[in-house]
Amino acid sequence: MALPAHAQYVVIGGGIIGCSTAYHLARDYKADVLLIEQGRLTSGSTWHAAGLVGQLRSSASITQLLKYSVDLYKQLDAETGLETGWKMTGCLRLATNRDRWTEFRRLATTAQSFGMEMHLVSPEEVKRMWPLMDVSDLVGASWLPTDGQASPSDITQSLAKGARMHGAKIVEGVQVTGFDMDDGTITAVHTTDGVVECEKVINCGGQWARQIGAMAGIEVPLQPVKHQYIITEKIEGLSADAPTIRDPDRRTYFKEEVGGLVMGGYEPDPQPWTMGDVPDNFQFQLFPDDWDHFEQHMEQAVARVPALAHAGVKQMINGPESFTPDGNFILGRPAECANMYVGAGFNAFGIASGGGAGWALAQWAVAGEAPLDLWVVDIRRFSELHRDRQWVCDRTLEAYGKHYTVAFPHEEYVSGRPRIVSPLYDRLKERRAVFGSKLGWERPNWFAPEGVEPKDAYSMGRQNWFDPVGDEHRLVREKVGIFDQSSFAKFELRGRDAAAALDKICSNRVAREPGRLTYTQMLNSRGGIECDLTVARLSDDLSYIVTGTGFRAHDGGWIRDHLPAGGEAVLSDVTERFGTLSLMGPRARDVLSTVTEADVSNEAFPFGHVREIAIAGQAVRALRVTYVGELGWELHAPLAGLGAIFDALMEAGGRHGIAPVGYRALESLRLEKGYRAWGSDITPNDTPFEAGLGWAVKLKSNSPFIGREAVTKIGNAPLKKRLACFTVEDPGVVLLGRETILRDGQFAGYLTSGGYGYTVGKPIGLGYLRRAEGVTDAWLAEGNYELVVATDRVPAAIHMQPLYDAQNLRVKA
C-alpha cells in the first residue's frame, strides 16, 4: 500500500499497543488513521511475549483498563473472524510465607474494592486444581478466576484486521526517519517511503519508542531488558485448562501451552540489553540461549513442578522487553511536544494491558486529556532526571528485580541515590534522618532517635519508624517543628495577563490583590481535579505557584497547555532556584518573630497571605499556609541561603523544643486535619464537590474557567459519591488505602489513603462512599460502617468533619 499524503492520526508501531490504538481510533471515532510498521506486525516484542493476562493492580483505573482488555479479547474473534487464543483459565498466585500471605489478603480486599472476584484458597485446594504441583511449602494461594492467557500475535492480527475493517490504513516495511516540527508541534512524518502530513502522532514503537520520541525532542524513559522463558514438550497429566501460575516467592510463572508448559521468571540480577539505540533490524530476532543465567529459574521451577525435571525443552525464548524505572507503563502526551502521544514501556504486561491501553490512548489523543485517572502511567510523572540513561537503567533493573518480591508498604528504591539533595542534606543526616526519594530528591521521611538504627525495617505490620514518627507528630501539635520541603515544584507566571490567565485555568478565584495566597484546583473538562496547588500573588504581574514534588512536569505542562492564546503570560519553572522550609506548630510565631524584623502577628500577617521578609540576611517569600492543621509558614528562599535560615530557626527555636520533622509525620498530621492528597484522595476522576472542596470553586462569580460547565452540573445534582473520614478503635489495625468500606454490611466504596493519627490515637482512612441514588447527609448518618482490612471486617466510625481542629484545640474522634 502506498503511503497517503495526509492522515489525521499516524500511529507508529505495529505491536499490540499500536494495533489496539489504531483499532479504537477507527472503531470509536471513525478517524482517518495510518499505522506505520517498520517490519511486520508483531515484530518487536509482541511476537515473543509469554501471553499471561492478569487484571488486578493497585490502581482502580489501571485495573479497569485490564478488565477492559479481557472483555475485548473475549469477543474480538466474533467481530474479526480471527482467533485471539484467549482462554479464561484463571490464575493461582502462591504464598510460601506469612508476609506474602498478608500481601495476598490485602490484595483480596483490593479486588473486592475494585469489583473483582478473588478468593484465598488452601494448599489442598491448590493441589486439587494443579495436581502436578508440590504444595508442601505453601501457606495458601490467591485465585482469580477471570484471569487467563492469550496468543499475543493472534490478538494483534485480530486487532489489525478490526482496524482495517473500520477504515484504518496499515503499512508494513516502512520506517519513520524524522518529523517536521513547528514550534513544538509535529506537522509531518518522514518515512523511507515518503512524507505524511498529520495532525497527531501516536508513538507505540515498543523498544524503539525512546529513539522515535527523541526525533521530536521527547524523552521516553524505558530500558530493554533480556527476559527468558522456556516452552516444554508435552507433560503427562497436565490439563489443557490448567490455571496459569505465578509463584512469586520462587520468582517464576507457568502457563499451559499445547500440552506442555511455558515457564519463566524475574530474577534479582536482570540483564539489560543496550542503553543506546535499538538496532532497526532487531525484529523477529532473539538473543542466544543463556542457560547459566536461567538456571536459577529452572531450579525453583523443578522444585515446584517436579515433572519438569523429565520434560523436554522445545525452545528457549530470550528476547528484549521494555521496562520502566517504576514498573508502570507509559501513556499520554509529554510536555515537550504538543501533538505526540506515547504508549510504551509495558514491563511484560503489554498483552494484559493492550486492549485497555489502546482504548485509553485513542480517547486521550482525540480529546486531548486522559479519559480517567491514569496518573500512575502518565508520561508526565517523569522529569529531566529521566534523561540520564544510566540512572534509568539502574533504577529499571531494580524495579525488574522487585517484580515478584513482597510489596512492603512504604518501601523505597535504593538505586541511583542520592541524586538530588537540598543544602540541608548533611545537617539532617547528622540528626539521624532516614531519607526517602521523590523524583530524584532526597527527602527526610523520619528521624531515628538514639538507640534506633536510622534505616527502614520493612514489615507488613507496624514498622520501626512508628513510635519515632509519633514523637515528631506530637512535637508539631504541641510545640514547633521544621520540615525541609525544598523538593516542592515551584513556578512563576509573569506578564500583564498572568492573573487573568490563571483565573481561567483555576477553579478558585486567584486574581486577588497582591499579597494574597489562594488554595485552588485546576479541572479537566469532566470537572475532575487535574492539579491541586497554591497560588501566591506577589505583584500585579507576578504569581508564584507551588505544587507537589512528583507533579512538576504534569502541573507545569497542564498550565502551559491551557494558558489562553495571545496573552502576555510566561511560565517559568523555578524549582531549583528556591528551597522551602515549613515552620509549623503553636510556637511557630514565637520562633519566626525572633529571626525577622517583619511583623508576623496575625493582624499584620493573617492566614492566606504572602509577604517578603528577611531571615539571616536572606530574602524570603513567606506563605502563611499549613498542611498539618497548625499555625505555620512555608518559607521560600534562594536555595543557597537555606542553610543559614535553617540554622537561625533552629537556634531561635531551641527554647521551644524545635526539631526537624519528616514526611511520615506530615502524612499523619494531614490525615487528622482531613487535608486531601492529589493522586490518591483527589484525582482526575473526582470533582471538588465530591471531595468536599466545593468551597474552593468560584461558581458564585460569573468568571469562566475550565471545567465550569461540568462541575456546575455535578454540584447542582445529588452527589453519587462523597469523600469521608473513617477511624477504627483498634490501634493495631494498619490502614494503607484501598480497604473496602461496608455500610450496613454492603459494599459502599473503598479508602483512598490511610495511616495513623497520633493525636486522636486511632487509625485513620479517607475514602469515597458511593451510591447511584445519591449520597445524602441522612444516608451517611444512618449507616453502620465497617472496613475490610486484609479480609478482616473491622468496625469503623464515619466523620464528615476534620478530626482535629487547632483553632478550638479539640479532638473530635
For 422-444, the DSSP string reads -TTHHHHHHTTEEEEEETTEEEE
Contact 205, 35 (CB under 8 A): no
Between β-strands 6-12 and 194-203, what pairing exists: parallel, antiparallel or unpaired?
Answer: parallel
Q: What is the pLDDT of residues 122-147, one digit of tens each?
A: 999 999 999 999 999 999 999 999 99
How distant is the alpha carbon of residue 381 from its chain centre? Answer: 8
Mean pLDDT of 715-728: 96
CB neighbour list of residue 283: distance below 8 Å, 6 or more residues apart: 38, 39, 40, 43, 44
3-class SS of residue 93: strand
pLDDT for the residue numbered 806: 66
Mean pLDDT of 563-571: 92
Q: Options 3.30.2270.10, 3.40.50.720, 3.30.9.10, 3.20.20.70; which CATH number does 91-145+227-321 get?
A: 3.30.9.10
Contact 284, 208 (CB under 8 A): no
Q: Which CATH architecture has domain 6-84+150-223+326-381?
A: 3-Layer(bba) Sandwich (3.50)
Mean pLDDT of 494-516: 96
**Percentage of residues of the chain with pLDDT beyond 90:** 91
User: pLDDT grade, residue 701 (50/70/90)?
Assistant: confident
Contact 133, 116 (CB under 8 A): no
pLDDT for the residue numbered 808: 60
Helix 350-367 and helix 16-29, axial crossing angle in degrees, nearest 10: 40
Alpha-helical segments (H) within 678-732: 708-715
What pTM value is reported for the model?
Answer: 0.95
Rounded CA gap, 448 and 584, in Å? 20
- Residue 198 pairs with which residues in a beta bridge? 7
Q: Where does 489-573 sit in CATH, by number?
A: 3.30.70.1400
The DSSP element (H or E) to which 126 belongs, if any, is: helix 123-129
CB neighbour list of residue 723: distance below 8 Å, 6 or more residues apart: 676, 681, 686, 690, 691, 692, 752, 766, 767, 768
pLDDT for the residue numbered 130: 97
pLDDT for the residue numbered 810: 53
Cell reading at 319: 528476547
Report the residue count for the chain.
813
- CA atoms within 13 Å, Cβ hemisphere of 131: 7
Residue 557 has pLDDT above 70, yes or no: yes
pLDDT for the residue numbered 780: 97
pLDDT for the residue numbered 813: 55
Residue 707 has pLDDT above 80, yes or no: yes
Rounded CA gap, 230 and 654, in Å? 64
Mean pLDDT computed over every residue of the chain: 95
Q: What is the pLDDT of residues 379-411, one digit of tens each?
A: 999 999 999 999 999 999 999 999 999 999 999
Residue 537 has pLDDT above 60, yes or no: yes
pLDDT for the residue numbered 807: 64
pLDDT for the residue numbered 58: 82
Cell reading at 688: 471538588
**Residue that the C-alpha cell 466523620 belongs to:** 799
CB neighbour list of residue 218: distance below 8 Å, 6 or more residues apart: 203, 334, 336, 337, 340, 342
Residue 35 has pLDDT above 80, yes or no: yes
Rounded CA gap, 753 and 764, in Å? 9
Taking only Cα atoms into account, the Rg of the chain, rounded to an integer number of angstroms, comes to 27
Cα–Cα distance list, 224 to 97, 176, 278, 281 (Å):
32, 20, 9, 15
Contact 301, 294 (CB under 8 A): no
pLDDT for the residue numbered 149: 87
Helix 152-165 and helix 16-29, axial crossing angle in degrees, nearest 10: 30
Mean pLDDT of 705-719: 94
Rounded CA gap, 148 and 55, in Å? 9
End-to-end alpha-carbon separation of the chain, Å?
Answer: 69
Domain ranges within the chain, ordered by starting residue = 6-84+150-223+326-381, 91-145+227-321, 426-488+576-673, 489-573, 718-811
Residue 438 has pLDDT above 80, yes or no: yes
- Residue 220 pairs with which residues in a beta bridge? none
pLDDT for the residue numbered 592: 98
Rounded CA gap, 279 and 460, in Å? 44
Q: What is the pLDDT of residues 197-238, one digit of tens each?
A: 999 999 999 999 999 999 999 999 999 999 999 999 999 999
**Residue that the C-alpha cell 475493517 belongs to:** 165
pLDDT for the residue numbered 805: 83
Q: Options 3.60.15.10, 3.50.50.60, 3.30.1360.120, 3.40.50.880; which CATH number does 426-488+576-673 get?
A: 3.30.1360.120
Cell reading at 69: 482488555
**Strand spans (E) along 251-409:** 252-257, 260-265, 271-272, 313-323, 330-332, 340-344
**Percentage of residues of the chain with pLDDT beyond 70:** 99
Q: Which CATH architecture has domain 718-811?
A: Beta Barrel (2.40)
